[in-house]
Amino acid sequence: MNRAERVAMVDRSRTDLSVRRQCTLLGLARSGVYHQPAALDPEELALMRWLDEQYLATPFYGSRRMTAELRKAGRRSTASGCSG
């Protein structure tokens, strides 16, 4: 049984079995049951796809060269570790 199926089994309305106990029995972390993933930004997805394609074409580029390629392509990096 995969994680998504186990999360779906948790019933928050049960009064006889707490969410904490259900998570323990199912081998889940409670934080994973309550966490709602954030929606993915299409602009960020496009940037990640561009970076993946660039890396596959030139895996020997380091972070500085990749940043230069981002600038040359007219893209702006949004990551905190990159200046842009």
Tell me how far apart the alpha carbons of residues 44 and 40 are, in angstroms, rounded to a whole number: 7
Task: Name residues whose C-beta falls within 8 Å of residue 28's C-beta, 6 or more positions apart in sequence.
Answer: 3, 6, 7, 10
Tell me how far apart the alpha carbons of residues 33 and 66 are, in angstroms, rounded to a whole number: 37
pTM over 0.75: no
In order along its 84 residues, the chain shows pLDDT tens digits of 899 899 999 999 999 999 999 999 999 999 988 888 888 899 989 999 999 999 999 999 999 999 999 999 887 655 544 444
